[in-house]
Amino acid sequence: MADDKDQADDLRPEYRHEDFPAGFVRGKYATRVAEGSNIVRIDPDLVWAFPDSAAVNEALRALVQIAERSARKP
């Protein structure tokens, strides 16, 4: 992973941190973004089974149906 200095070198000169020190607050909006999203990380060993969000949703719907059927049985 690149350090902050390497990342800063990719910026245009007019956007450098030294010019706008108050504007570069890491994670300033992270909490707000996390509250408004349902992003879930799939572990690497499961990525083959869930290549996209459609696959995840399909599997979860199937699991909910199975759980509902199991709960109805006496």
The pLDDT assigned to 29 comes to 80
Stated pTM of the model: 0.48
Q: How many domains does the chain have?
A: 1
The pLDDT assigned to 46 comes to 93
**pLDDT by position in tens, the chain (length 74):** 455 555 546 767 766 666 566 666 777 787 877 777 788 888 999 999 999 989 999 999 999 999 999 988 76
Which range marks the domain in which residue 12 is found? Answer: 4-72
| Helix, strand, or coil (residue 64) | helix
Bin 2: left if φ > 0, else alpha if -120 < ψ < 50, else beta: beta
The C-alpha angle with vertex 65 and arms to 61 and 69, in degrees rounded to 5, equals: 170
